Amino acid sequence: MQLSSRRLRAALLAAASLTLVAAVLPPPEALGIGDRLFPDLGNPGYDVLSYDLSFTYKDNKSPLDAVTVIDARATAPLERVNLDFTHGKVASAEVNGEPARFESVGEDLVLTPRRAVADGGPLRITVRHTSDPRGRGDGGWVPTEDGLAMANQADAAHRVFPCNDHPADKALFTFRISAPAGLTAVANGYQVAPALRIGPSTTWTYRTRHPMATELAQVSVGRSAVVHGTGPHGLPLRDVVPAADRQRLDPWLKKTAGHIEWMEERVGRYPFENYGVLIARATTGFELETQTLSLFESSLFSGDGYPEWYVESVMVHELAHQWFGDSVTPRTWSDLWLNEGHATWYEALYADGLGKYSLERRMREAYQRSDQWRAAGGPPAAPKAAAPGEKIGLFRPVVYDGAALILYALRQEIGAPAFDRIERRWVAQYRDGIAGTADFVRLASQEAGRDLGAFLEPWLYGTKTPPMPGHPEWSTPAPAGKSAVKAAGKSAGKAAPGKAAPGKAAPGKAAPGKAAPGKAAPGKAAPGRAAAGKALPGGKRV
């Protein structure tokens, strides 16, 4: 009885202490790091080192019980700590092992610790919360026929777990997922130990060996088959597919090792611990380069209208992102062109090598549409923000084929050998880091042996497309009227979640940028392709 009273007094004192601390501070407010396109994303004052995420899955219509543990380092004195988090209920929060007061302000979870965190000091945050898969209009959890997957790009990771939701703050991740018997859970990285069965539930643990942006996190639960293989130089391959589709999808899975070998010949060693595809029975309208485990809609592989060369090109697009976007992550969201332009470039180069859609033809067609894309979506390196309620509208043709056009112009200007050196050095120098447009211009200038700033600036930031080196005969149409520009912007913002299909319709196929009968180009507009009846060029998202 006496012990119980002591505990009660301690709890009351702790609550009173937190209330007193909060009372002397100004009201909590939502913060951001000032990204031009997503000003409320990210939070100042700390650098996340690692996330440890635990999820307990019941079914894909019920909130998951979750615990998020964040280890960080303070970069300023902190009386409050802001996290990006919404769409879940918080049960408790701790900062450095002590209870912390928590309040929701906008899409921020604001913690008030009992003691201020010193500049440079350790910061461990523990939040017990739910993670709600319902209402996925803004991304986050994606319901599948038999479970869930994640699609967090561009700004939806904080709909799943509390985090510093900006790609500039990469961190290591550990995932612990518990699910009922009969289901399989997978996540980014490698499996730490055999799945642990306790009663009616099984728990899987995965960990990344390389830092990752929050928007690239992936967790999938379902009736899945996990297929293991070996890629170039012994690289572990791990594919996750619906168990019922395992045999049908096997020919596609066997293509990945060759795709990796093709990419490595051009840019160097694959940058992560393993790779594979996650094929989900879900309708997303896009594919997504989640780190080490790219997400694909199963319909892409159904043989219904998509030619084989197109599907392979989309697979290469997502694979290329592992170097461009995942390993080398954009410093700001305005640097998105570096991700999508490069992924589109290698996708187009692969299709060119198959003899199905020549690179020069695709770039010429992109050049003809470039001014319209710039009018609708802004220049590649300074894209317009997405319209309210259409966050993925950022993924327009101008950051796909419009950005690949910049790379083509650069190669035309400096020659293929110097261009190839730039590509290899870019992914080597900034591996596991972040980099932006200014970094690319500087590195390109060094490899070319001359200042390329004046050449690249109008390609990156101009409202009009500059003349193409080596192709004086290429031209853009006369300026479109307001109605045409408006229509271009509308289709660009809606094509495949995350991206509009850049380029022109491949022979005999729906024009890119327009949703194929009832569908938008797979995830990201897979440039240069229009699948029979489906938006080809550019078909993919994020």
Q: What is the pLDDT of residue 393?
A: 86
Q: What is the pLDDT of residue 524?
A: 40
132-141 contacts, C-beta under 8 A, 24 or more apart: 132/63, 132/64, 132/87, 132/88, 133/60, 133/61, 133/62, 133/63, 133/64, 134/61, 134/63, 135/87, 138/391, 139/391, 139/392, 140/87, 141/60
Report the amino acid identity of residue 411.
Answer: R
Q: What is the pLDDT of residue 431?
A: 98
**Residues sharing a CB contact under 8 Å with residue 175, sequence separation 6 or more, in sequence order:** 53, 54, 55, 187, 188, 189, 204, 205, 206, 207, 219
Both structure tokens of 425 = 């050095």
Distance CA 320, CA 181 (A): 35
**Measured on CA atoms in the order 394, 397, 401, 403, is the torsion positive or negative?**
negative
| 8 A C-beta contact, residue 240 and residue 256 | no
Q: Look at phi and psi of residue 518 and say left if phi exceeds 0, alpha if psi is from -120 to 50, else beta.
A: left
Owner of token pair 């080809």: 536
pTM across the whole model: 0.87
Q: Look at phi and psi of residue 107 and say left if phi exceeds 0, alpha if psi is from -120 to 50, else beta.
A: alpha
pLDDT by residue for the chain (542 residues), tens only, comes to: 444 455 545 444 444 444 544 457 899 999 999 999 999 999 999 999 999 999 999 999 999 999 999 999 999 999 999 999 999 999 999 999 999 999 999 999 999 999 999 999 999 999 999 999 997 567 899 999 999 999 999 999 999 999 999 999 999 999 999 999 999 999 999 999 999 999 999 999 999 999 999 999 999 999 999 999 999 999 999 999 999 999 999 999 999 999 999 999 999 999 999 999 999 999 888 999 999 999 999 999 987 778 999 999 999 999 999 999 999 999 999 999 999 999 999 999 999 999 999 999 999 999 999 999 999 999 999 999 988 777 778 999 999 999 999 999 999 999 999 999 999 999 999 999 999 999 999 999 999 999 999 999 999 999 999 999 999 999 887 554 443 333 333 333 333 333 333 333 333 333 333 333 233 333 343 333 333 223 344 444 44
* Count of C-beta atoms within a 10 Å radius of residue 268: 16
| 8 A C-beta contact, residue 140 and residue 130 | no
Q: What is the pLDDT of residue 24?
A: 77
**Measured on CA atoms in the order 522, 528, 529, 535, is the torsion positive or negative?**
positive
Q: What is the pLDDT of residue 492?
A: 35
Task: DSSP for 214-243, please give it.
Answer: GGG--EEEESEEEEEEE-GGG-EEEEEEEG
Both structure tokens of 333 = 């969201």
